[in-house]
Amino acid sequence: MIAIASTLAKRYPGFGALVASLPLVSVIAMIWLWSDKPDAEDMAAHSGATFWYVLPSVPMFLLIPALLRHGVGFWPALIAGCALTVALYATMTWLGPRFGLQL
């Protein structure tokens, strides 16, 4: 999928981004979890937590293009985006339970 997304992105950046954004890992994990233990409550908890963990990753996809457009190199922009994501994951893990989220 990575090769397909990057190959498409060379010619059609938007379509390559669409393929890259598909939640394949989440879908495969849900299928595997369901196969091992078909429990609706476990699946609901898993998919709900996945939603809340996707949110902290979204700002990375705003920061990286902003940095690139302001002349920052690719690697520093990528590192900054990843660092932001790690910080936001840590914040979500710390704050989520305080607001009743089961992560």
Q: DSSP letter string over 43-97? A: HHHHHHHHHHHHGGGTTHHHHHHHHHHTT--HHHHHHHHHHHHHHHHHHHHHHGG
Task: Give the pLDDT score at 97.
Answer: 93
* C-alpha count within 13 angstroms, C-beta hemisphere, residue 91: 10
31 and 69 assigned to the same domain: no
Task: Identify whether residues 12 and 55 lie together within a single domain.
Answer: no
Nearest to 90 by CA among 41, 37, 53: 53
Q: What is the pLDDT of residues 39-96, one digit of tens each?
A: 999 999 999 999 999 999 999 999 999 999 999 999 999 999 999 999 999 999 999 9
CB 29 within 8 A of CB 11: no
**Is residue 63 domain-shared with residue 31, that is, in the same domain?**
no
Taking only Cα atoms into account, the Rg of the chain, rounded to an integer number of angstroms, comes to: 17
Structure tokens at 57: 């990753």
Note the pTM of the prediction, 2 decimals. 0.82
What domain range includes position 9? 1-36
- For residues 43 and 93, state if they share a domain: yes
Q: How much is the pLDDT for 11?
A: 94
Phi, psi of 91 (to 5 degrees): -65, -45
Same-domain check for residues 51 and 100: yes
